[in-house]
Amino acid sequence: MRLLREEADFFSASWEDAAARPDDEWRASAREAEMGTTRTVFIAAEGDSWLGVVGCYLHDQPGSARLVSMWVDPVARRRGIAQALVTAVAQWAAERGCDQVSLVVHERNEPAWRLYERAGFRETGQQEELPHGRGFKRLYSAAVVDLVR
Ligand SMILES: CC(C)(COP(=O)(O)OP(=O)(O)OC[C@H]1O[C@@H](n2cnc3c(N)ncnc32)[C@H](O)[C@@H]1OP(=O)(O)O)[C@@H](O)C(=O)NCCC(=O)NCCS
């Protein structure tokens, strides 16, 4: 939840909506992610401390997975954690027969788009305008083979 409170501009869901979501729904999502069939969550941990998180799910479009909810604790940034999480997502997607991974990133989120471009993602040219003048989210995509290193 820290990611929604502290860096709200960069995520689609709001803290208020997430906090209002019933516990049963959170438990169902967690169970689904734990099974890892159609969605998953990777946590980067050091001892008992969770330093980063990323989610991924199989997209409606066949052969494609969507990377979501990437966040690294500010105290652990620029240590390669997000890059490691991208690699984990790519391996998970490859094991499920995907050849593409896509994601959306806010146009003003330079650390994120630099991370994704360095990892191998490229802009598709598609973008979505956010309400209330909050700017644009751009769609990025990569071939799984370019992400698994
Ligand atoms: C974006 C974010 C996930 C990066 O996490 P991170 O663990 O610090 O990233 P990494 O250490 O794996 O960085 C890998 C590469 O990405 C690029 N990068 C990452 N952060 C950067 C920054 N602040 N400025 C410029 N480039 C950056 C660099 O090329 C970096 O390689 P380098 O350190 O060797 O130069 C992190 O800043 C974050 O959680 N931001 C807030 C949440 C967010 O915006 N999530 C993404 C939503 S789409």
Q: What is the pLDDT of residues 17-66, one digit of tens each?
A: 777 777 887 787 777 777 778 899 999 999 999 999 999 999 888 899 99
> Which candidate, 123, 2, 121, places its Cα nearest to that of 71?
2
In the reported structure, the alpha carbon of residue 42 is separated from the centroid of ligand 1 by a whole-number distance in angstroms of: 16
For residues 140 and 118, what is the distance between their CA atoms, to the nearest angstrom? 12
Among all chains, which residue has been given the structure tokens 């941990």?
45
Q: Is residue 3's pLDDT more than 80?
A: no
When pLDDT is cut at 50, 70 and 90, the band that residue 114 belongs to is: very high
109 lines ligand 1 (CB under 6 A): yes
Q: What is the pTM of this model?
A: 0.89
* CATH architecture type of domain 2-147: 3-Layer(aba) Sandwich (3.40)
Q: Is residue 122's pLDDT more than 90?
A: yes
Mean pLDDT of the chain: 88
| 50 half-sphere exposure, CB direction, 13 A CA radius | 10
For residues 128 and 102, what is the distance between their CA atoms, to the nearest angstrom? 14
When pLDDT is cut at 50, 70 and 90, the band that residue 8 belongs to is: low
In the reported structure, the alpha carbon of residue 37 is separated from the centroid of ligand 1 by a whole-number distance in angstroms of: 28
Atom of ligand 1 nearest to the CA of 104: 48
Among all chains, which residue has been given the structure tokens 């471009």?
117
For residues 108 and 16, what is the distance between their CA atoms, to the nearest angstrom? 23
For residues 128 and 133, what is the distance between their CA atoms, to the nearest angstrom? 12
78 lines ligand 1 (CB under 6 A): yes
In the reported structure, the alpha carbon of residue 120 is separated from the centroid of ligand 1 by a whole-number distance in angstroms of: 14
Over range 77-88, report the average pLDDT: 97
108 lines ligand 1 (CB under 6 A): no
Q: Given the DSSP bridges, would you call strands 100-106 and 64-72 parallel, antiparallel or unpaired?
A: parallel
80 lines ligand 1 (CB under 6 A): yes
Residue-range domain boundaries for the chain = 2-147
